[in-house]
Amino acid sequence: MTFSVPLDQRLAFVRANTALAAVPFVPELSIFTATEVTPLWQATGEWLGARGLDVPFWSVPWAGGQGLARWVLDHPEAVRGKRVLDFGSGSGLVAIAAVRAGASTVRAVDVDPLAEAACRLNAEANRVAFEAACTDVVGTSLEGIDVLLAGDVWYERAASERFAAWLSNVVASGVRVVTGDPARLYVPRNVHELARYDVPTPLELESAPTRMTRILELMQASNESTTASR
């Protein structure tokens, strides 16, 4: 996948519009964060739109990602010595946690080219190393992956249906899939709950100071479906 914005410009944009800050629910890790989310999104809309880039979801630690990163650090045996893919990585928070927990290799992927830049900067800031790529892996077979981690990815119906169908096949292939879900509408039904946390969230994002976030393992099922029951 190619982009019109060179990596050095994307790196400069992330640095200029965020500040390195500890993650509220995972304070041992820090990421480049937009301290005033709404002004950033409004002020950068023209810059992003002119370059074909998306809303900067990578600029804040979403509840699902925070919860999943916390779970990985608290349960390092889930990834220790394993090959990990951080899917829909955003800032790379979950990838950083996986490296810290002892994963043998970690790859972070996101379709937003600014997320790739944020991952690179956040990896450096946390003194870890992992591969970051801007690519769409949905629908592909995952060779050389033992565990797929997906933070906060279940908030849009069409995308969630696409993810769920693919991840059902991924689970069937023997890859463990674990996701963080702060009660999004379109999380798959065929899941096993591993943990739940009350995760701090910015009011301007979630209209609440915390979100109850479940850590879920996707299970193999013959008919994949999503739910809007909550």
pLDDT at residue number 11: 94
Burial class (CB in 10 A: 0-12, 13-18, 19+), 171: buried
Task: Please give the tally of structural domains in the chain.
Answer: 1
* Domain range for 45: 7-218
Q: What is the dihedral of CA 29, 210, 199, 56, to 10 degrees?
A: -50
228 lies in a domain? no
Residue linked to tokens 């976030």 = 213
128 close to 158: Cβ distance less than 8 angstroms: no
The DSSP code sequence of 30-43 is: EEEE-SSHHHHHHH
51 lies in a domain? yes
The enclosing domain of 35 has a CATH number of 3.40.50.150
Per-residue model confidence as pLDDT tens for the chain (230 residues) = 445 789 999 999 899 888 999 999 999 999 999 876 656 666 555 555 555 555 678 998 999 999 999 999 999 999 999 999 999 999 999 999 999 999 999 999 999 999 999 999 999 999 999 999 999 999 999 999 999 999 999 989 999 999 999 999 999 999 999 999 999 999 999 999 999 999 998 777 777 889 999 999 999 875 544 444 33
12 lies in a domain? yes
pLDDT at residue number 205: 74
pLDDT at residue number 16: 86
Closest CA to 151 of 230, 220, 71: 71
Residue 128, C-beta contacts closer than 8 angstroms, at least 6 positions apart: 96, 99, 100
Q: Within 13 Å, how many C-alpha atoms sit on residue 26's CB side?
A: 26
104 lies in a domain? yes
The distance in angstroms from the start CA to the end CA of the chain is: 36
